[in-house]
């Protein structure tokens, strides 16, 4: 049904059982939660902070905060969504500390509605990622996503890279669903346009144009 | 459907949450509007490329080190008793 499938992050009931055990003081259950989500938290943190050391710190601080506040966790929501909210806040704090000259918040950069309308329409080559080797491609993707404002980048990473649903992303970022959708659209369109510089069909040698 | 309407619905379309009628209208628009078709197709590719690449993997040794640091700090915190971190 969906054009792009979401990645699932473990069955919810199992997660809840681990959370309840951890709340009762079972540290091995908490360790299992760490094992389950550390890679996700690291990716999210690195995408937001764009810095590996910061991302490592965020992983530690987010889990430590979750551990310390486990009693406050309301079990109506998913533990993972709650953890992501903590991690995103930690990551944004790191970013603020690193770039004090710029305000970093999820509410910044509300510009005109037209700022991400497609200007460049040219089509891409059929398998654009194959034009580059693995490390070139990583460099391109990382440079491109760094150019997005943190608020857009975070929504894109949670929704499209980590596969959270729109509702989960909204809950994790404490944004409304329409705000998530609007940021996601603009993030996707901006990334598309920026990637186009690398992936566009070459005019010469391509008989289609 | 106009191009601006298409753009409004693009995210819902890519996420597979459009109602059937709007989806038919949108796909009808895509069948004759080349620009919107290209925008839709390359946006889909953008998402897919990022999703497939996962450029920030956590190496196993670092992962083990982080997890053990987390658990050590958790236990220290437990000994100190409940408090906000």
User: Can you give the CATH number for the domain in which B61 is found?
Assistant: 1.10.10
For residue B66, is it within any domain? yes
Q: Is the pLDDT of residue B71 over 60?
A: yes
Mean pLDDT within B34-49: 93
Q: What percent of chain A has pLDDT over 90?
A: 53
Residue of chain B whose Cα is closest to the Cα of A153: B50
Q: Residue B80 — very low, low, confident or very high, per pLDDT cuts 50/70/90? A: confident
In a domain, B85, yes or no: no
Query: What is the model's pLDDT at position B57?
Result: 80
Q: Are A88 and A44 in contact (CB under 8 A)?
A: yes
Name the band, by pLDDT with cuts 50, 70 and 90, for residue B33: very high
**Residue whose structure tokens are 């959270």:** A164
What pLDDT is stored for residue A133 in this prediction? 87
**pLDDT value of residue A208:** 44
Residue A34 confidence (pLDDT) above 60? yes
Q: Flag whether pLDDT at A41 surpasses 90.
A: yes
The number of folded domains in chain B is 1
**pLDDT digits over A86-114, tens only?**
999 999 999 888 865 555 555 554 444 45
**Which residues of chain A neighbour B48 with C-beta distances below 8 Å?**
4
What pLDDT score does A29 carry?
Answer: 95
Min Cα–Cα distance to chain A from B80, Å: 11
Contact between chains at A2 and B51 (C-beta distance less than 8 A): no
Average pLDDT for chain A: 83
The answer to whether B16 contacts A181, with C-beta atoms less than 8 Å apart, is no
Mean pLDDT (whole number) for A136-140: 88
Residue A126: pLDDT band (50, 70, 90) is confident
Q: Which of B35, B43, B70 sits opposite A60 (nearest CB)?
A: B70
Q: Pick A135 or A84 by higher pLDDT.
A: A84
Taking only the tens place, the pLDDT of each residue in A146-171 is 888 888 999 999 999 988 999 999 99
| A161–chain B nearest CA distance, Å | 5
pLDDT band per the 50, 70, 90 thresholds, residue A2: very low
Specify the pLDDT at position B47.
94
Chain A, chain B: beta-carbon pairs less than 8 Å apart: 138
For chain A, which domains are there?
Answer: 12-98 (1.10.1740.10), 122-199 (1.10.10.10)
A181-200 tens-digit pLDDT: 999 999 999 999 999 989 88
The pTM assigned to this predicted structure is 0.82
pLDDT at B85: 47
| B15 neighbors A2 (Cβ within 8 angstroms) | yes
| ipTM attached to this prediction | 0.84
- The range of the structural domain enclosing residue B67 comes to 3-80
Q: Nearest C-alpha of chain A: how many angstroms from B12?
A: 8
Residue B33 is assigned to a structural domain of this protein: yes
Q: Which of B11, B67, B83 sits opposite A181 (nearest CB)?
A: B11
Taking CB atoms and an 8 Å cutoff, what residues of chain A touch B54?
43, 161
Contact B77 A68 (CB under 8 A): yes
Does B40 reside within a domain? Answer: yes
Whole-number pLDDT of residue A173: 92
Assigned domain for B55 exists: yes
Residues of chain B in contact with residue A189, where contact means CB-CB under 8 angstroms, are 7, 39, 43
- Answer yes or no: is B75 within a domain: yes
Indicate yes or no: CB of A199 within 8 angstroms of CB of B66: no
Least Cα separation, residue A42 to chain B (angstroms): 7
Give pLDDT, residue A191: 94
Residues in chain A with CB shorter than 8 Å from the CB of B27 are none
Q: Residue A11 pLDDT more than 70? A: no
- At B27, the pLDDT band (50, 70, 90 cuts) reads very high
CB neighbourhood size of B41 (10 A)? 14
Q: Is B73 on the interface with A (CB under 8 A)?
A: yes
Is B45 a domain residue? yes
């Amino acid at each position: 049904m969906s054009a792009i499938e979401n990645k699932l992050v473990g069955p919810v009931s199992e997660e809840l059982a681990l959370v309840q055990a951890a709340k009762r003081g079972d540290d091995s259950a908490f360790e299992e939660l760490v094992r389950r989500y550390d890679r996700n938290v690291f990716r999210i943190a690195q995408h937001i902070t764009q810095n590996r050391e910061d991302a490592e710190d965020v992983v530690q601080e987010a889990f430590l905060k979750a551990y310390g506040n486990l009693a406050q966790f309301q079990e109506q929501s998913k533990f993972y969504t709650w953890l992501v909210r903590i991690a995103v806040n930690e990551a944004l704090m790191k970013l603020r500390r690193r770039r004090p000259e710029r305000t970093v918040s999820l509410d910044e950069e509300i510009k005109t509605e037209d700022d991400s309308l497609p200007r460049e329409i040219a089509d891409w080559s059929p398998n654009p990622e194959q034009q580059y080797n693995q490390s070139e491609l990583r460099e391109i993707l990382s440079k491109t996503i760094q150019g997005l404002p943190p608020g857009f980048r975070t929504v894109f990473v949670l929704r499209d890279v980590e596969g959270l649903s729109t509702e989960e992303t909204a809950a994790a970022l404490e944004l409304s669903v329409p705000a998530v959708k609007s940021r996601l659209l603009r993030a996707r369109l901006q990334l598309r346009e920026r990637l186009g510089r690398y992936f566009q069909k070459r005019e010469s040698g391509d008989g289609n144009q | 459907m106009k191009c601006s309407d298409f753009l409004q619905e693009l995210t819902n379309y890519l996420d597979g949450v459009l109602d059937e009628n709007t989806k038919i209208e949108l796909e009808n628009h895509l069948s004759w509007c080349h620009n919107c078709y290209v925008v839709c197709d390359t946006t889909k590719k953008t998402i897919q490329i990022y999703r497939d690449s996962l450029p920030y993997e956590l190496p196993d040794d670092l992962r083990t080190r982080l997890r053990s640091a987390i658990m050590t700090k958790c236990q220290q915190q437990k000994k100190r008793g409940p408090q906000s971190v």
